[in-house]
Amino acid sequence: MDGGSNQRKQGRGPGKSPVPGINWTVIFWIFLIFLLLGPWISKQYGTKGTQISYTAFRKQVEAGNVTKVTVEGEKISGELKNPVEKKGSENETVSYKEFYTYLPSFGDEKLLPMLEDQKVDVITEPRKDVSWWGQILVAVLPFLLLIGLGILLLRNFQAGRGQNIFSIGGSRAKLYEGSKEKTTFKDVAGAHGAKVELQEIIEFLKNPERFQRLGGKTPKGVLLIGPPGTGKTLLARAVAGEAGVPFFSITGSDFMEVFVGVGASRVRNMFIEAKRMAPSIIFIDELDSIGRQRGAGIGGGHDEREQTLNQLLSALDGFEPNENVIVMAATNRPDILDSALLRPGRFDRRISVDLPSLKDRMEILKIHARNKPLADDLNLEEVARGTPGFSGADLENLLNEAAILAARKNKERIEAEDVDQATDKILMGLERENIVVTDEERRLLAYHEAGHAVVAVLLPNADPIHKVTIVPRGRAMGVTQQLPKREKYIYPKEYMMDRLAVMMGGRAAEEVVEQTATSGAEEDLKQATRLARKMVLEWGMSESLGEMAIGDGHETVFLGHEIAQRREYSEATAKEVDEEIKKILRQSYDQAKDMLRKHRDGLDRVAEELIEKEEISGKEVLELVGVEKPEAAIEEKENLGSPLPPTVSG
């Protein structure tokens, strides 16, 4: 199915807030106004010269050192013939020629005759009365500009946070309503079972009376469960598009805030808005971020998360009915959800959205190839057959990587070679070109990968070989890639044992040829031990323990969660489990080693070919080993695919 990774349309709603950068244009104009008004204010209302005492002024007049004075009300400013020195505030000497002072309030009748006697040029000007708006401008403008700058910065801060400080408890759900690019089921490839289930939800929204006549109630909640990238979000949007109703979208993390109670407030406001526009759909992506088990692990739970979850539980099935409001949610971790969420009356329906099959992968590739020019040699059916276990998002990424590789080579169209290289990059990692390998290391590496390949073509239940390479990719120095030849959903014990033997083939080849062991088998041993543990603990495939499942298959994600759990088996059983795992691994290793000893010539031929070519196909491995088994190799990826990812041994 389409991976749900299509670009989401920008909704409009109460929580929408664009995130612009700081408005430097406004800041520039504020600075320019300050720059222009400063000199004007200084000129109009400022004072030139040095302030002196009235007594000093009279002494300078009597000494005949004053050339002219300007009288403006009580203010007297003037100019001296010769500069005069004056003691400053910090005892420094200041020389001045221009000065100003003020007449005493009681006046000085002798001043004018004295100025006339000294032949001082006297200029009189009227008092400058500052208008009321001028006074406001001078006194208030700087504060207004500072306040405006503060508001501007605050708005940019709030925009960056995506919320308003005065409406922090408001709903942050985005509303998609009447969009021009409406998503429908035609835009969703595969997931036929999920579509059938969701079609009934659409009928509820379009024609609720049809079900209410018979006493049926609208489902409260629909939970979409599936691996990442399988298109759960896209399915929810398609339901809204098909039903033609308002669609509120929000992620679980949008409820969380540093303040306790904010998440619960956002849940309430979201349901109020949805009921006002009913019938409508609320979609909560990544439900597990707020719906985790309450009180799990050491120290209990998170207060804000638990209050948010409690409010969500009440809104789904509380005292207030939410008629014609359907809550859809998506998660890839249903095992950690609180049990109160999953009971009937809340999330009534749980719909699995699994990895796509071969037919689904074909449909997905066609959707993502719409706007891409494809070469004639590129067969999408072969690409679908060679990508078992890929999700819709993986397939979209595959074609995108192929397009990038083709553009890098200045091609006009995407060719099959580009898709093959993109597949190798996704499955095995990026080729590492800066690694220098010695001849001895290259030989060890070739025999290691040859060991995987030879065991795989000899065992009857092993997956067919696609290619073997000693080109370093990702974290692996070499890779043996297997692809299943048909769809598999049930795996017998014989298949598991052969798969373990293939994983052990690299280490077995090292011992058979060089009588040593290298660190190159690290990832093989980890995968083999993990698989053997599952066989013993969960699948009942051990002879000693028999049909007993000891493990629950759930990953512990809460700190201290295992402390509160009671282990359901004794120490003696735990020891027996370890012995059984060791026994299975030893049996697989011995089987791989015996087969390589019997077919040492074929092992040598495959290793020599790898040293020379660095990469060979599954068909070449068959010819070199001398096995008449056409179905044991995949040439040009002619397999039917599988819901499980292909086997990659390092």
The structure tokens listed for 598 are 């019997």
Read off the pLDDT of each residue in 597-611 and give the average, rounded to a whole number: 92
The C-alpha atoms of residue 247 and residue 282 are separated, in whole angstroms, by 6
Query: Quick one: pLDDT at residue 262?
Result: 63
pLDDT interval class at 263 (50, 70, 90): low
Q: Identify the DSSP state of 611.
A: H
pLDDT interval class at 180 (50, 70, 90): low
The C-alpha atoms of residue 382 and residue 402 are separated, in whole angstroms, by 15
Whole-Å CA distances, 625 to 147, 592, 607? 83, 15, 11
Query: Quick one: pLDDT at residue 47?
Result: 61
Distance from chain centroid for Cα 279? 31
User: Quick check: bond before 279 cis, omega within 30?
Assistant: yes
Strand partners, 93: 87
Q: Which residue did the predictor score with more confidence, 57 or 475? A: 57
The C-alpha atoms of residue 420 and residue 402 are separated, in whole angstroms, by 8
The C-alpha atoms of residue 45 and residue 65 are separated, in whole angstroms, by 27
Read off the pLDDT of each residue in 406-416 and give the average, rounded to a whole number: 89
The structure tokens listed for 436 are 């220098």
Pairing state between β 66-72 and 121-125: parallel
Which residues carry out catalysis?
Answer: 449
Q: Identify the DSSP state of 15.
A: T
Domain 358-428, CATH class in plain words: mainly alpha
- Look up the CATH number of domain 174-352: 3.40.50.300
Query: Quick one: pLDDT at residue 635?
Result: 40
- Look up the CATH number of domain 48-125: 3.30.720.210
**Smallest Cα–Cα separation from 297: which of 257, 336, 341?**
336
The structure tokens listed for 628 are 């008449």
**Smallest Cα–Cα separation from 68: which of 97, 94, 106, 96?**
97
Tell whether the torsion through CA atoms of 337, 343, 348 and 350 is positive or negative: positive
Query: Quick one: pLDDT at residue 5?
Result: 41
Query: Quick one: pLDDT at residue 179?
Result: 52
Contact, 449 vs 468, CB < 8 A? yes
Contact, 337 vs 331, CB < 8 A? yes
Most confident of 223-237, 289-303, 601-615: 601-615
pLDDT interval class at 11 (50, 70, 90): very low
Query: Quick one: pLDDT at residue 209?
Result: 75
Query: Quick one: pLDDT at residue 233?
Result: 82
For residue 528, with 0-12 CB atoms within 10 Å meaning exposed, 13-18 middle and 19 or more buried, which class applies? Answer: buried
Report pLDDT digits (tens) over 484-534: 776 677 889 999 999 999 999 999 999 999 898 988 888 899 999 999 999
The structure tokens listed for 576 are 């027996």
Report pLDDT digits (tens) over 329-360: 888 888 778 778 888 878 878 888 888 888 88
Contact, 470 vs 501, CB < 8 A? no
Q: Identify the DSSP state of 379.
A: -
How many CB atoms are located within 10 Å of the residue 256 CB? 16
Report pLDDT digits (tens) over 29-46: 666 666 666 565 555 555
- Please state, for a pLDDT cut of 70, what percent of the chain lies above it: 74
Q: E strands along 126-182, which residues?
A: 174-176
Report pLDDT digits (tens) over 526-559: 999 999 999 998 888 888 887 887 766 555 444 4
Report pLDDT digits (tens) over 185-210: 887 887 788 888 888 778 877 777 77
Contact, 558 vs 473, CB < 8 A? no
Query: Quick one: pLDDT at residue 67?
Result: 87
Q: Is 466 helix (H, G, I), strand (E, B) or coil?
A: strand
Cβ density class 333-343: b for 16+ within 10 Å, e for less: bbebbbebbee
Lowest-pLDDT choice from 8-17, 159-168, 209-218: 8-17
Lowest-pLDDT choice from 76-90, 261-275, 579-593: 261-275
pLDDT interval class at 368 (50, 70, 90): confident
Q: Which residue did the predictor score with more confidence, 23 or 238? A: 238
pLDDT interval class at 138 (50, 70, 90): low
Query: Quick one: pLDDT at residue 566?
Result: 56
Whole-Å CA distances, 261 to 164, 309, 319? 16, 11, 20
Q: Which residue did the predictor score with more confidence, 585 or 551? A: 585
**Smallest Cα–Cα separation from 170: which of 178, 158, 179?**
158
Distance from chain centroid for Cα 592? 43
Is residue 1 over pLDDT 60?
A: no
The C-alpha atoms of residue 386 and residue 419 are separated, in whole angstroms, by 10
Cβ density class 166-182: b for 16+ within 10 Å, e for less: eebbbbbbbbbeeeeee
**Smallest Cα–Cα separation from 76: which of 95, 59, 51, 94?**
51
Query: Quick one: pLDDT at residue 242?
Result: 81
The C-alpha atoms of residue 60 and residue 84 are separated, in whole angstroms, by 9
Report pLDDT digits (tens) over 433-442: 777 778 888 8
Q: E strands along 11-168, which residues?
A: 50-51, 66-72, 75-87, 93-102, 121-125
Query: Which residue ranges make up each domain of the chain?
Result: 24-41+132-161, 48-125, 174-352, 358-428, 439-649
Is residue 589 over pLDDT 90?
A: yes
How many CB atoms are located within 10 Å of the residue 183 CB? 24
The C-alpha atoms of residue 24 and residue 17 are separated, in whole angstroms, by 19
Is residue 563 over pLDDT 70?
A: no
Average pLDDT, the chain: 76
Half-sphere exposure of 358 (CA within 13 A, CB side): 16
The structure tokens listed for 386 are 């060679």
The C-alpha atoms of residue 520 and residue 503 are separated, in whole angstroms, by 12
Give residue 244's region: left, alpha or beta (phi > 0; psi -120 to 50): left
The correct answer on CATH 1.20.58.760 for the domain covering 439-649 is: yes
The H or E element containing residue 468 is: strand 465-469
Q: Which residue did the predictor score with more confidence, 60 or 89? A: 60
How many CB atoms are located within 10 Å of the residue 622 CB? 21
Most confident of 22-26, 135-139, 229-233: 229-233
pLDDT interval class at 108 (50, 70, 90): confident
What is the length of the chain?
Answer: 650
Contact, 440 vs 610, CB < 8 A? no
